[in-house]
Amino acid sequence: MAGRNPQTHAKRQRELAVKERRERKLAKRAEAAAQRAAGGDAPPPDVQDETAATLAPEGADEPRPG
């Protein structure tokens, strides 16, 4: 029977680290959303709403003069 590959352990550690980062990020976003819903202060500038990144610039749907 073959022994376990040490790379497998490293890969598992990386996967767990990524999963934990994602969970922390989701929790942080949920907390910011709850504060906004409760009428609290605006979220810190490093927390960006996904919808803001997908919106077109203001006036993008208007025809260009000319």
In a domain, 65, yes or no: no
Q: How far is CA 21 from the centre of its chain?
A: 10
pLDDT score recorded for residue 60: 60
pLDDT score recorded for residue 58: 64
In a domain, 29, yes or no: yes
In a domain, 66, yes or no: no
In a domain, 16, yes or no: yes
What is the value of pTM for the model shown?
A: 0.48
In a domain, 2, yes or no: no
In a domain, 51, yes or no: no
DSSP state letters, 7-60: HHHHHHHHHHHHHHHHHHHHHHHHHHHHHHHTT-PPPPTT---HHHHHSPPTTT
Task: Give the count of domains, the chain.
Answer: 1
Question: What is the span of the domain harbouring residue 17?
Answer: 7-38
- What is the full per-residue pLDDT of the chain (66 aa) written as tens digits? 456 787 888 999 999 999 999 999 999 999 999 999 998 765 555 655 555 555 556 666 666 665
Q: How far is CA 2 from the centre of its chain?
A: 40
pLDDT score recorded for residue 23: 98
pLDDT score recorded for residue 7: 83
In a domain, 47, yes or no: no
